[in-house]
Structure 1
Amino acid sequence: LETFGLWAANRIEEMILFEGPETVAAVFLEPVQNSGGCFPPPPGYFKRVREICDQYDVLLVSDEVICAFGRIGEFFACDAYDYVPDMITCAKGMTSGYSPIGATIVSDRIYEPFKHGNTSFYHGYTFGGHPVSSAVALANLDIFEEEKLNENVRLNSPAFRSTLEKLNDLPIVGDVRGAGYFFGIELVKDKATKETFNDDESERLLRGFLSKALYDAGLYCRADDRGDPVIQLAPPLTIGQPEFDEIEQILRNVLTEAWTRL
């Protein structure tokens, strides 16, 4: 896996060199990639990406709109994967979605030109620093600490994973992957070859049956990630083994039915 992590990171270096380092301002990466269905980074990946960005004077931006604030078991997922970005973008988790908010956090090096009052950064807009959303965010962060939500995710994530991995005995399940309380279950037509579904099968299976069946069974999740046959799970950070078991049972029942419909 580490060999693959280095290979993947080096593709970023190739692209920087192809475009010309002087034309590349930043590399944006999610700690766990959402698109395509919950891809955690392989070992060594972010260490190598950090080296590449430093070598070519390119900023590393950690896009944590999804991963920050407990989803991976830390306030910021970059801490879980041991890398220090130049900037962090974050949003909904800051208020647990109860009020709209977003933020960009920058390193001391990025902020340095603006410390002395000689350089301006024009970034204001109408609702910037809105007091209601700010108050909700502060209250939400207090709850994180009081109820030890990050600790709950770190403690229970292995049990969540092992419960979901029981689904690997189903012929339609090709992979279970993820981190923290953020997992993807990839569906396949052929378990041995990992062959995916054609357009007609995807239409009938994902949009025609699976999404509604899961919803009707009481599991609210994304069952069709922009055409990719992946069920994505991002449950509340407060749940534990009883809820894991319920999720697994609902998925098992619905996926068993889905397989018969192929």
Structure 2
Amino acid sequence: MTSPTTTPATTQDGIRDHLWMHMANHKHLFEGGTTPVITRGEGHHIYDDAGRGYIDGLAGLFVVQVGHGREEIAQTAYEQSKKLGFMPLWSYAHEPAVQLAERLAGYAPGDLNRVFFTSGGGDSVESAFKLAKNFFKLQGKPGKHKVISRAVAYHGTPHGALTITSLPGLRNQFEPLVPGALKVPNTNFYRADARFDGDEKAFGRWAADRIEEQILFEGADSVAAVFLEPVQNAGGCFPPPPGYFERVREICDEYDVLLVSDETICAFGRVGSMFACNDFGYVPDIITCAKGLTSGYAPLGAMIASDRLFEPFGRGGETFGHGYTFGGHPVACAVAMTNLDIFEREGLNDRVQENAPAFRSTLEKLLALDIVGDVRGEGYFYGIELVKDKATKESFTDEESERILKGFVTNKLWEEGLYCRADDRGDPVIQLSPPLTCGPAEFEEMEAILRSVLTQAQELL
């Protein structure tokens, strides 16, 4: 047995023998393969242990909005650690949490003024799920416990959040899950039925009405909440069609169902505004967020709820029996404040809105390739769907996806200097979500690498 003080022969030995990576297959490590080791980041680049640089086309994991290596954020963490390194929010408060809560409430729309801090996005979704059930119990409606989410959607891995997640590959091994999760169609217009004949608004109305249909089928007295991302991540960046969220808001109001805007990815400038619900013109009952809140410099998430939902736990005197040891960690909250200072000082939200058309048009040049079926997204958040046959939109077989997407495209993009995401949890897509500090020059650089690799991938079909 290796002692705790023994240094492994190599970093790769340490990975193979001790590190359990997330969402990862480890088999290659026992067949002589290796895992990339990232040692530092600077701006919109990351660097491996051989000193080679890569464009961070995914902002880590939709996280590093302000870019890598911000010394002022590190300094903030240092200063706060000296002053107060830890204090829970269990019946006590500390200044960084109070200040950040006030700031987030100011960014949020409507009466979303109550901020419950968590450790990350999945915990925020878990918290919203529990609040929805708790709230309706206190309203004398204990039967309202079911939740609706969309096909192929990802909402986290905690057991409650996982039941809201709609990806069988992530769910099946942990069943039975929390009961009461219902699924409706997503807004993948590229795969929409031919009857809509290019009419996005009609498709959006149809997709939204499926939520009403599900509520009526189950009974409105049993449905507590609808969980939707402003732009759905899994499946490859599905934007909302015109009028979609307006109709969903009407449905939720009519049947007394809470609308949860899961903005774990889309908040903090990823689409444009601090909260993407503002970009798409709707006011939810709850916002869940994380990732870009600190740009990844410290782990932190939040559930932001309306005053109405907090009322039973405020003047009503009830206690929400839920919390996290590290939720609202003082160092993480201080880091978030400095991160948001950078947003405002450098105008990053305006930067995204100004550069988003250039990002779209640059990526749309890839539509000239036979293997690229669709380019879709909003802001700095895009998916490129790959197809076997462009005319029929025929997708890859499982074997082709394994061979081309995972076996070639992923590795080749990395070799060419681009870190991004190749995902086949729905149809095969490549996702891009760069730091918000990137601009047209970086867009062109990413497109050139993608064009080269995808041109080669075409020859494998």
Q: Say if 2:401 and 2:424, in contact at 8 Å, map to a contact too.
A: no
- The CA distance in 1 between the partners of 2:296 and 2:382, in whole Å, is 19
- What's the CA shift string for 1:87-112, capped at 9, x where partnerless? 00001110011110010000111112
Residue 428 of structure 2 is aligned to residue 233 of structure 1: no
- The CA distance in 2 between the partners of 1:222 and 1:189, in whole Å, is 19
Q: Give identity over the alignment, percent.
A: 72
- The CA distance in 2 between the partners of 1:128 and 1:255, in whole Å, is 42
Aligned to 1:22: 221
Q: 1:8 aligns with which of 190, 202, 207?
A: 207
Q: Letter of the aligned partner of 2:227 in structure 1?
A: F
Q: Letter of the aligned partner of 1:33 in structure 2?
A: Q
SS at match of 1:254: helix
- What's the CA shift string for 1:143-189, capped at 9, x where partnerless? 11011111100000000000111111100000000000000000001
- The CA distance in 1 between the partners of 2:224 and 2:318, in whole Å, is 19
- What's the CA shift string for 1:107-153, capped at 9, x where partnerless? 11111222216211122221122111111111111111011111100
Whose relative contact order is higher, 1 or 2, with alpha carbons under 8 Å and at least 6 apart? 2
- What's the CA shift string for 1:199-250, capped at 9, x where partnerless? 1111110111000001111111111243631000000101111101101100
Aligned to 1:164: 363
Aligned to 1:107: 306
Aligned to 1:175: 374
Q: Say if 1:202 and 1:227, in contact at 8 Å, map to a contact too.
A: no
- The CA distance in 1 between the partners of 2:333 and 2:366, in whole Å, is 41
- The CA distance in 2 between the partners of 1:224 and 1:8, in whole Å, is 24
- The CA distance in 1 between the partners of 2:316 and 2:245, in whole Å, is 34
Q: Letter of the aligned partner of 2:210 in structure 1?
A: R
- The CA distance in 2 between the partners of 1:44 and 1:125, in whole Å, is 37
TM-score by length of 1: 0.98
SS at match of 1:105: strand
Q: Letter of the aligned partner of 2:383 in structure 1?
A: G
Higher-Rg member (1/2): 2
TM-score by length of 2: 0.56
- The 5 A counterparts of 1:108-127 are 108-116=307-315, 118-127=317-326
Aligned to 1:62: 261
- What's the CA shift string for 1:47-97, capped at 9, x where partnerless? 000000000000000000000001001100000000000000001110011
SS at match of 2:422: coil
Q: 2:352 aligns with which of 147, 153, 166?
A: 153
- The CA distance in 2 between the partners of 1:159 and 1:40, in whole Å, is 17
Q: Letter of the aligned partner of 1:138 in structure 2?
A: M
SS at match of 1:7: helix
Moved more, 220-229 or 102-111: 220-229
Q: Say if 1:69 and 1:75, in contact at 8 Å, map to a contact too.
A: yes
SS at match of 2:319: coil
- The CA distance in 1 between the partners of 2:233 and 2:319, in whole Å, is 34
SS at match of 1:74: coil
- Structure 1 unaligned spans of 5+: none
Moved more, 106-115 or 94-103: 106-115
Aligned CA-pair RMSD: 1.0
Q: Letter of the aligned partner of 2:212 in structure 1?
A: E
Residue 278 of structure 2 is aligned to residue 47 of structure 1: no
Q: 1:210 aligns with which of 409, 418, 435?
A: 409
Q: Say if 2:343 and 2:349, in contact at 8 Å, map to a contact too.
A: yes
- Structure 2 unaligned spans of 5+: 1-199
- The CA distance in 1 between the partners of 2:332 and 2:355, in whole Å, is 30
Q: Say if 2:372 and 2:385, in contact at 8 Å, map to a contact too.
A: yes
Aligned to 1:98: 297
Q: Say if 2:271 and 2:379, in contact at 8 Å, map to a contact too.
A: yes
